[in-house]
Structure 1
């Protein structure tokens, strides 16, 4: 069994049940399954074959759901990409991922027209119409001016409901998720059909999702947290997802009042905004039976404050792209422990080890490693990185953790210098590489600093050879080359950066300096 087969089985059993609501309209499981089949056939008529790579440069929408499952039904490999990435970031992933077809929104057509020559492997650009109620910048009739561009609607309309996709093996690659690497270049985590199906099923069963659940899907679908927990896991057992294109407290309360959701999944930043929203009425969230938090550790004060105000339990979990992503959740049939990521979910084993790979004692800090059917096949075209990350069947997460006597795990710190901005991963080296390309920058160090709204913010320390260089100039430069959430919140100029005797820049010394101020 795989995700697209499961969707088809659900459509057979409960075809008239709403699969999703979007812009206050709904589509049934039968309609969704039919759209998926027709889109898969439409892709095949464009020459897309089993094993080809298709990128989804989309936000939360039915287009994403149909594009994802349509490509999977054809046997293609899907590469989700954050649509707010810069042309440089998009171009790298598309080229490195050997993408042959790209599905995106018509609002991004001007971007595609500017960069299409730099991504020559892409043979078809499939353009999705802007949802009703949002302003489109593109006349659909103008798409013919660029021969590689096709209308999503027309591609789907060209498909046949009798289309039968190829046989899919469980170890074949279903999705490649690009995650920032310590070298500054994203790495593509190859997730198989078995990886994604097993994790969606285990999460759905662990959280007791069923056909009576209605899940608010406001986390970005291109991110693995949403992909599994708020998209595929609900669809696994016939639940209904309420697709929210862009998170805002006002819209979440409106959706909650109208559709009476039972499950909400978000990152701590979202919970913070909901808690602080002045017009937020606890009565509007009374239908929730469960809130799920991930992407970053939730401050205990925030967790308790949210639970008290809205009278709902927040279950924290843990995951990473390389594990499809979930490995731990606080169980529903046992006490929730504040500050803990919970226990291992079914079929997944977590362990805390020392530098020799030996399991440490209860309460002792070590590296968290994971084993299970959800662990990736490896990094795309990076065999050495794969061998360093997966050893003897265990995925080494790079996160420091400890376990208590009841099997609850706690993330203590990041082994690497990862910065979490509103639940998004930012690696210092990635930002440093951009700044080092500036002609006036001599040295730079990037680190995360506490931020009351986003959890962490990116701060840079720069040594410049040009006394006329200003913080505003460098921030503008960063904005040209980095996604918005990766752009530093502040830049400080120093005469020199602290280093050890070998010349290595000491980020920890800078962080200590921040904490003392």
Structure 2
């Protein structure tokens, strides 16, 4: 078994089928196979052996796709990280993973060189267009691997400490690709497109590898813009489009001449990486005629978990039941299942669960309960098996003894006609322990008064859930996937500059 076996199979059976598109350029499966083989030869000539770790620092591009598949083809382990990483972060990844080689995009080579020099690791520069055919066709590729052999090492965000590398095996990767493509009923006629970063599990495995799994074509866009992604979807006649909530929001408000008729072939719009606000999903369907399907997964589960597509009927706010071959349940602090409808921690099981955290057995033991992986997300489940993700366990705000779940408030805020982006967080409070704060960015040209916003919320939420502190910003901080990064919101600044709105709806 090797996670790139199917790419080789499609190159043999349908060599002229389009595998990859970027702008006006395209590459067939036969061409991509030859490009991957050439890079595999380069890696082999450099002494890279099965099990060696290779750091890949590159943005979404045809070059990333080729080098990533080459690393897997030779049996090495791909350590794919954010292309905006600092030299300190790269040094940590190189050291923690004990990499044998680093490959960095030309635009970030100076930062990567500092890290490579500090760790004594060889660095290759990946130039735009640095993919070409050459020797490699005679290599015994893809190398045969065991299902439990690690294929990629994906580092978690590190919000609760130093990043940990989730070991995803060839078996995990193949299972995820099979499950995702099977859920969508994909085949070689599909045309998939995304602007997601390929170093992230969603874009890398749930989209790229799953597309190659069935011999479909993959269209890539960089940099992302709502206008650009819509135009690509129309020009390439995409049948599947994948993104994160902020991307759907940007497309929804894009000033571009793309109509629902231009997207008539779009059968699946996949959202992941963060909770999709209902207001955004409904408005996207109204404008473009395609339902955005919310899904749920983590790096540790190879990006797979649940899908709203599998729910027999639409249930507002649900991310659906467990994907085929997976199991999902909600458990209490002791790991016991809770009754349907009650809150608890979401747990997942199945062939996509990681091998463990790289050389961190204690951290692995903390999240594993037999076959179950504890996600750290708060949720609930109904009798049909459908899951609702209510919040991150660590995002829970305890206000005067009451549990307040920020996502519930955010869902309401997203229905406000003047708000473009929102984040609800907890801030320190001497009397209550924590107070609830709403940080929001209005649509351009809109004016949102804090007192009016609180009054609006009081009509829709219980009093203990209504934020008392309101802070307006031009834009909320986002990560490389477009996910809003609450941890980058300065709680002190929110307290200092935010407006505290009292019960009588006057500012204080």
TM-score (norm 2): 0.79
Q: Displacement, 1:417?
A: 3.1
For residues 85-106 of structure 1, what are the alpha-carbon distances to aligned partners after superposition, in whole Å with 9 as ceiling and x for unaligned? 1211222112111111112211
Q: Say if 1:453 and 1:39 are closer, same or farther in 2 by CA, change over 3 A.
A: farther
> Which among 223, 243, 249 is matched to residue 266 of structure 1?
243
Counterparts of 1:52 and 1:287, CA distance in 2:
42
Q: Is the 8 A contact 1:75 1:168 kept in 2?
A: yes
How far apart in 2 are the matches of 1:290 and 1:186?
Answer: 33
d(CA) in 2 for partners of 1:294 and 1:511?
A: 32
- Counterpart in 2 of 1:142? none
Aligned-residue offset at 1:309: 1.0
Q: How far, CA to CA, are the matches of 2:502 and 2:206 in structure 1?
A: 36
1:298 partner SS? coil
Q: Which region of structure 1 is more displaced relative to structure 2, 359-368 or 174-183? A: 174-183
User: 1:227 offset after TM fit, Å?
Assistant: 1.3
Deviation of the 1:81 alpha carbon = 0.7
- Aligned position for 1:129: 127
Residue among 156, 174, 196 paired with 1:197 = 174
Residue 394 of structure 2 aligns to a residue whose secondary structure is coil
Alignment map for 1:53-452 (pairs within 5 Å)? 53-120=53-120, 122-123=121-122, 125-131=123-129, 152-153=130-131, 159-165=135-141, 166-282=143-259, 283-331=261-309, 334-417=312-395, 449-452=438-441
SS of aligned partner of 1:302? helix
**3-state SS of the aligned residue for 2:353?**
coil
Match of 1:473 in 2: none
2:305 match: secondary structure: strand
- Give the 3-state SS of the residue equivalent to 1:331 in structure 2: helix
How much is the aligned-residue C-alpha RMSD, in angstroms?
3.1
Q: CA deviation at 1:306?
A: 0.8
Contact 1:42 1:157 in 2 (8 A): no
* 1:394 CA displacement: 0.9
Instruction: Determine the structure 1 residue equivalent to 2:32.
Output: 32
TM-score (norm 1): 0.77
After TM superposition, give the deviation of residue 409 of structure 1 in Å.
0.7
Map of 1:51 onto structure 2: 51
Q: How many residues align?
A: 432
Distance 2:166 2:240 in 1: 28
Measure how far apart 1:55 and its partner are: 1.0
Secondary structure in structure 1 of the residue aligned to 2:256? coil
Separation in 2, partners of 1:447, 1:187 = 30
Cα distance in 2, alignment partners of residues 408 and 84 from structure 1: 36
Q: Which runs of 5+ in 2 are unaligned?
A: 397-405, 411-422, 426-433, 444-478
Bigger shift: residues 186-195 or 243-252: 243-252
3-state SS in 1 of match to 2:492: strand
Residues in 1 aligned to 2:250 and 2:494: alpha-carbon distance in whole angstroms:
35
Structure 1 distance, partners of 2:21, 2:499, is 45
Give the direction of change, closer, same or farther, for the CA distance of 1:158–1:264 in structure 2 (3 Å limit).
closer
Q: 1:106 to 1:487 in 2, by over 3 A?
A: farther
Question: C-alpha offsets along residues 234-287 of structure 1, whole Å, 9 cap, x if unaligned?
Answer: 111011000112210121122122111011111111111111112252233222
Q: Contact (CA 8 Å) 2:241, 2:270: kept in 1 or not?
A: yes
**Residues 402 and 17 of structure 1, relative CA distance in 2, 3 Å threshold:** same
